[in-house]
Amino acid sequence: MKRGSKWLAGVICAAVLLAPELSAGRAAFAQEPEYAYQERPDGTVEITKYQGEQQEVVIPSELDGKPVSGIGDHAFSNNRSLTSVTIPENVHRIGSYTFCLCGQLASIDIPAGDQELGEWAFSDTKWLNDQPDGCVYLGENDHIFYCYKGTMPENTTITVKEGTTHIAGAAFTFVDGDMVNSYQQLTAVELPQSVVSIGRRAFQECSRLSSVTIPDGLTSLGDMAFSAEQPWLEGYEDGPVYLGKVLFFYKGDRSSYTELDIRPGTTAIWPHACQESEKLQRLTIPESVKTIGDWAFADCESLTSVELPFGVETLGYKAFTSCTALTTVTIPASVLEWGGSVFNCCDNLKTVYFPGGKESFGRMVMDDYDREDIAPFAVFPEPSPESKEESSEPESRGESSAPESRGESSAPESGKESLTSESLASRKAPEAKTSSAAASSPDSPEKPIGLLPAVLIGAGVLIAGAAVLLILIRRKVFGKP
């Protein structure tokens, strides 16, 4: 055999030898993650970006073994290939502009359930363009009122149909390209008793709204859902105004009252609800409250103590900021989400009952948490002997206890039995991650190795193959060992 033929045969052998490795490298490159997501404090995840190219997308119910509870703002926006999307039951939040500018999106499958819809989530889609003018509904059995489309006649009354559970964000502020049309011709709205949530900015721009029927079971009211200057609110007497189970705002002179006992059964306190209540000294919040909105009690300069009941899950941005007389704060372990700077500029704050430790408190709710005059944090009763034996991390108990401070002050009696540092141990700051759709199933095959490892392995095999080939050539062609 000629020398050139032998070299060609060697190259072919090397190619055959390396084919499986090169194939694995291509597979690793092709299977890029489809979903970027962010972990939430409750152990679920929210999709922040879709990175796939599928035309028909079925949102996974889990990613990396964690339930998907939301689809974030802009997650699918401007996806020109998407034609249909199916959303599972466990997704409870669809953000603002989530599917905006998906020009080919014609089919949207949302099962009946507890979903909140942000502003203009499906604007500029084929689905919306195909809807007739008037009231537009979305989801199984039309349980979401999405928007009013088209030009609204003068002195319009809208009766939302029975069975509707959610009013989408900006439902009456429709976006058409760069133009925002405010429906100021709307004068009356009748909401059925089935409605439990009204989204952000839903009726904000309806300046002539003079009559609104609010369902008794309303539990969630988005920021700026209504305007406090709208005519329909003139019929309420001065004092706290409740819309369903939401404390909407305090009407009248906010410098005239010193005590506020929020009504039992209230589930949410609206943003800015009692802001600048300058003489408010005593505040009682019932155990039913789960959400305290942004700036809800900001600038309440006479408020001296705040005890949040176990059950509160969300503290809004600057909810108690600039409460300059505030000296004592009690925060339960039930709080999972913080808006930031919650107790900022509370210059006289001296004692904080909080099971997460001083650093965690500062990172989440107070910019100047490192002030030396603030008493040791997390002044709670010692865990029971049983819980001590079960815990294998005494350091976490040490972080959340302050023996030196127990002689000076004691934790409030009520609701403290379940407030322990162990309940905070599993909490982590939200972390952006990516996942492929295959990862959502425990039975799915192992993920392929990354591109760089595949290339390095391939290069190593190539070098080894070349060395073997040279040895064979030396032996067969030149007769050398």
- pLDDT, averaged per 10 consecutive residues of the chain (481 residues), comes to 48 44 37 81 93 95 95 96 96 95 96 88 95 93 92 92 95 60 85 96 92 95 91 93 96 92 97 95 96 96 95 94 93 87 88 73 61 49 39 35 33 35 38 48 42 57 66 58 53
Domain membership flag for residue 429: no
CA 283, distance to chain mean position in Å, is: 28
* Type of residue numbered 57: V
Specify whether 124 is located in the same domain as 136.
Answer: no
Cβ count within 10 A of residue 252: 14
CA 414, distance to chain mean position in Å, is: 30
Final residue in a domain of this structure, among 235, 268, 301: 235
Domain membership flag for residue 201: yes
Specify whether 280 is located in the same domain as 404.
Answer: yes
Domain membership flag for residue 428: no
The CATH number covering residue 126 comes to: 3.80.10.10
How is residue 115 written in tokens? 């979903």
Specify whether 291 is located in the same domain as 402.
Answer: yes
Specify whether 270 is located in the same domain as 332.
Answer: yes
Specify whether 47 is located in the same domain as 148.
Answer: no
Domain membership flag for residue 57: yes
How is residue 340 written in tokens? 């930031």
Specify whether 306 is located in the same domain as 410.
Answer: yes
Domain membership flag for residue 240: no
Domain membership flag for residue 435: no
Specify whether 7 is located in the same domain as 46.
Answer: no
Specify whether 116 is located in the same domain as 204.
Answer: no
Confidence (pLDDT) at 187? 95
Confidence (pLDDT) at 391? 37
**Separation of alpha carbons 55 and 101, rounded Å:** 15
Specify whether 40 is located in the same domain as 110.
Answer: yes
**Separation of alpha carbons 5 and 471, rounded Å:** 16
Give how many domains the chain has, as a whole number: 4
Q: Give strand pairing partners of 231.
A: none
Q: Where are the beta strands (DSSP E) in 205-344?
A: 211-213, 220-221, 239-243, 246-251, 259-261, 268-269, 282-284, 291-292, 305-307, 314-315, 328-330, 337-338
How is residue 50 written in tokens? 């879709």
**Separation of alpha carbons 467 and 459, rounded Å:** 12
Predicted model pTM: 0.71
Domain membership flag for residue 109: yes
* Type of residue numbered 201: R
Dihedral sign from CA coordinates of 255, 258, 263, 266: positive
Final residue in a domain of this structure, among 130, 147, 180: 130
Structural domain that includes position 464: 3-28+454-476
* Type of residue numbered 395: E
Q: What is the 3-state secondary structure (H, E, C) of 362-412?
A: HHHHCCCCCCCCCCCCCCCCCCCHHHHHHCCCHHHHHHHCCHHHHCCCCCC
Domain membership flag for residue 280: yes
